[in-house]
Chain A
């Protein structure tokens, strides 16, 4: 069964305290692993696409990495404005996306 699992469900960090979010996936014929950010009352906003094991993408304080079974979203020296829910999704051969339930990140000043 195709599925995506994220951990932890919630993460509280102090400003400047680096950490990582995990996304484990089993998606047949994976055609991309996607990370999104979702703010309260808004739709998910696209962050990164990873396609091949070993690939890395960076944007400001965020870096996403991919292995054959999981992806990590590393947050370096986070700021309060990084507080949001982070979602990952795997896409199959038929353009169908499988979402994890998300990690709610809270960064305290």
Chain B
């Protein structure tokens, strides 16, 4: 029962470095999401992919890019890391149908990213 798997779990970067956070789900969900969670700010949506082949910006997309590689995988890339991007990043997936089903999201355990 893997669910949503995120790699790596921890990472330290220097300002200006780039990196890609990986996310994979094994529940055959068609929607996937990237969030960041900062103290007192709750979960803020960075990008999401309602279905394979589509991606849309969320609340805080600046400084990030995403790739929906296939139905299972959704990656988040930081091209030039900045200290303001220090955060915990969560990937999630959910089922989505055009009749607007009320299916919940399932989350990974996060990537803790520090940028010095």
Contacts and interface: CB of A to CB of B under 8 A. Distances in A.
Interface of A: 9, 29, 31-32, 34, 36, 41-46, 49, 51, 87, 89, 91, 93-97, 99-102
A43 B107 contact: yes
A98 to B, nearest CB: 8
B102 A46 contact: no
A41 B109 contact: yes
Contacts, number: 64
Given A32-B102, A95-B96, A43 B42 contact: no
11 contacts: A31-B100, A32-B102, A32-B103, A43-B4, A43-B107, A89-B43, A91-B102, A93-B100, A95-B31, A99-B42, A101-B40
B106 interface: yes
Interface of B: 4, 31, 33, 35, 40-45, 48, 50, 58, 90, 92, 94, 96, 100-110
> Could you tell me the dominant secondary structure of chain A's interface residues?
loop
Contact of A43 (B45, B50, B90): B90
